[in-house]
Amino acid sequence: MLDYLDTSQGRGTARTLPNQLFVLFYVLFLCKRVLYYCHQMSTQLQLTNVSYHESNKNAEIEKKLTPYHKQLQAEQLISMG
């Protein structure tokens, strides 16, 4: 640690530069992984939310259309019979 603080001879910076670069790239790599994970999770949550809303919409549409379809089927049976 003293070598790092003693910059008058110029030795400290040369020794720790590769270590500093390694730490920098490692931190950047971790940030990239965390951002990727957050992106994946938000995408998954959006898809789940869309799927949930679509299933609710389909159920509501089916409830509204069911009496109409039953009436059509009854009319078709009457016209055939």
For the segment 12-68, what is each residue's pLDDT rounded down to a tens digit?
A: 555 688 889 999 999 999 999 999 999 998 888 877 776 666 777 767 766 666 676
- For residues 7 and 47, the model is more confident at 47
> Which H or E run includes 78?
helix 11-80
- Tally of structural domains, the chain: 1
Given this model, what pLDDT does residue 11 score? 54
What is the distance in angstroms between the CA of the first residue and the CA of the last residue of the chain? 98
Given this model, what pLDDT does residue 17 score? 84
CA atoms within 13 A on the CB side of 42: 6
Write out the residue range of the structural domain in which residue 39 sits. Answer: 2-80
